[in-house]
């Protein structure tokens, strides 16, 4: 059932938490970086799943600059994950991070995952995987399976995988992910559906997926953000962002 208002981040007295996660393909920061920063700040995310982060000359400096402009910190990824990057707010307590490079197919771009396990207040640990799947259908389908394996290997039943799937729902790779995880838009649609291109979007190729243990409260493309114009969304990058609010239960006594 669709809701009209995206829930705010909150940590409850019992240790449970509501967190905001954002998935965003930033096209290597080649567009209007100030507009991009305005969009990200207006979404007020706790975790940002970035795709196409800078991967070459001074890439760490570029990632740090984006984090600083958006009042976030770099969590993992970047060139060491072949483009996927994770940013987080200071609400997050980091358990561990890992950058993963996937097998390289001749003639295709290297792909990878930026992964982490974090906690918010006294909530359960939340696994996070930022991904950008291949343009090649067969390789993309295989990478969808690798993504499911990586989520399962994080060691927590509470996890989120988000990113640029490079195909629409119903196609083999997207369907494989939807069979193993819950598609946030299908579970709790909010805002807009289509993510590409940023101007005149007509395809949903970016998504947030969650394991069964994570309650998806709302998920979709923001259609109205404070201090952000339609021109900002078009100038920031060639994709639109996907924002989701997730509810996490409190950790069991003695495990927080």
Spatial separation of the C-alpha atoms in residues 21 and 48, rounded to whole Å: 6
pLDDT tens per residue, range 34-46 = 999 999 999 999 9
Q: Considering the entire predicted model, what is its pTM?
A: 0.96
Mean model confidence pLDDT for the chain: 95
Angle at 41 between CA 39 and CA 42, to 5 degrees: 65
Spatial separation of the C-alpha atoms in residues 79 and 96, rounded to whole Å: 18
Cα within 13 Å of Cα(112), Cβ side: 21
> Is residue 95 predicted with pLDDT exceeding 90?
yes
30: buried, middle or exposed (CB in 10 Å: 19+, 13-18, 0-12)?
Answer: exposed
Which residues lie below 8 Å from residue 105, measured CB to CB, with a gap of 6+? 134, 136, 139
Longest dimension (CA), the chain: 52
143 pLDDT tier (thresholds 50, 70, 90): very high
Q: Are 119 and 93 in contact (CB under 8 A)?
A: yes
pLDDT tens per residue, range 112-140 = 999 999 999 999 999 999 999 999 999 99
pLDDT tens per residue, range 54-63 = 999 999 999 9
Q: What is the pLDDT of residue 108?
A: 87
Q: What is the pLDDT of residue 105?
A: 87
Average pLDDT over residues 176-203: 97
Each domain of the chain, given as residue ranges in start order, spans: 11-248
Q: Are 168 and 179 in contact (CB under 8 A)?
A: no
> Is residue 3 predicted with pLDDT exceeding 80?
no
Q: Are strands 17-25 and 47-51 parallel, antiparallel or unpaired?
A: parallel
Q: First vs last Cα of the chain: how many Å apart?
A: 32
Domain spanning 11-248 has what CATH number? Answer: 3.60.10.10
Spatial separation of the C-alpha atoms in residues 81 and 101, rounded to whole Å: 6
């Amino acid at each position: 059932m669709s809701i009209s208002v995206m829930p705010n981040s909150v940590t409850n007295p019992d240790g449970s938490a509501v967190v905001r996660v954002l998935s965003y393909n930033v096209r290597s920061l080649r567009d209007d970086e100030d507009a991009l920063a305005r969009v990200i700040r207006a979404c007020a995310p706790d975790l940002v799943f970035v795709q196409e982060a800078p991967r070459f000359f001074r890439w760490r400096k570029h990632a740090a600059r984006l984090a600083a402009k958006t009042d976030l910190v770099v969590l993992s990824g970047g060139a060491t994950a072949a483009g996927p990057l994770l940013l987080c707010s200071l609400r997050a307590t980091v358990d561990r991070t890992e950058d993963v490079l996937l097998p390289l197919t001749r003639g295709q771009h290297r792909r990878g995952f930026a992964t982490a396990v974090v906690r918010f207040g006294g909530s359960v640990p939340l696994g996070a995987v930022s991904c950008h799947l291949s343009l090649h259908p067969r390789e993309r389908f295989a990478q969808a399976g690798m993504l499911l394996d990586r989520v399962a290997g994080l060691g927590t039943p509470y996890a989120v995988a988000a990113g640029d799937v490079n195909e629409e729902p119903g196609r083999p790779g997207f369907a494989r992910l939807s069979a193993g995880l819950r598609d946030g838009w299908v579970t709790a649609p909010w805002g807009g559906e289509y993510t590409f291109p940023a101007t005149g979007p007509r395809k949903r190729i970016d998504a947030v997926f969650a394991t069964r243990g994570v309650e998806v409260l709302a998920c979709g493309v923001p259609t109205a953000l404070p201090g952000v114009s339609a021109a900002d969304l078009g100038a920031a990058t060639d994709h639109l962002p996907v924002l989701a609010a997730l509810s996490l239960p409190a950790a069991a006594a003695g495990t927080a």
